[in-house]
Amino acid sequence: MHEYNLDCKGAFRMERITLERKVHYNDVQLKVDNFPIKKCNKCGEEVFGLTDLVMLDLFALESNAGEQIHVDFSVIKERFKDKDLMEEVLKYKN
């Protein structure tokens, strides 16, 4: 499961972190509490869930431009729980 430190024999464990992310679509600065990641207990490599990052980006797209938004990840997850993420992404593609 390691992408960078291929020699590491550590195990990945789920953690929740505060993530600060600048999203350039609307120049939104997101500060997200309780963002789920997997972190190696030996080398510290972090792995983010792709669908979780897609939800963050979509949340930023639907938010007002130029804002600093501080939100709990559960709010974002709740907002997109019944939606097809690929369909949502394609809405903004054009």
Q: What percent of the chain has a predicted confidence (pLDDT) above 90?
A: 60
- Is position 4 within any domain? no
Residue 52: other Cβ atoms inside 10 A: 17
Q: Which two tokens stand for residue 61?
A: 């797209």
What pLDDT does residue 72 have?
97
**57 has a pLDDT exceeding 80:** yes
The DSSP symbol for 64 reads P
The residue type at 93: K
**Confidence bin at 94 (pLDDT 50/70/90):** low
pLDDT at 74 > cutoff 80: yes
Instruction: For residue 3, give the DSSP letter.
Output: S
| Adjacent-strand bridge partners of 3 | none
What is the Cα–Cα distance from 57 to 31, expressed in whole angstroms?
12
Instruction: Indicate whether 5 belongs to any domain.
Output: no
Higher pLDDT: 86 or 24? It is 86
- Output the pLDDT for position 36: 96
Residue 65 lies in a domain: yes
The answer to the question of residue 50 being in a domain is yes
Q: Tell me what pLDDT residue 63 has.
A: 83
Does 2 fall in a domain? no
Assess whether pLDDT exceeds 80 at residue 78: yes
Residue 3 lies in a domain: no
Residue-range definition of the domain harbouring residue 19:
12-93
| Selection from 44, 19, 42 nearest residue 32 by Cα | 19
Q: How many domains does the chain have?
A: 1
CB count within 10 Å of CB 93 equals: 5
Q: How confident is the model at residue 4 (pLDDT cuts 50, 70, 90)?
A: confident
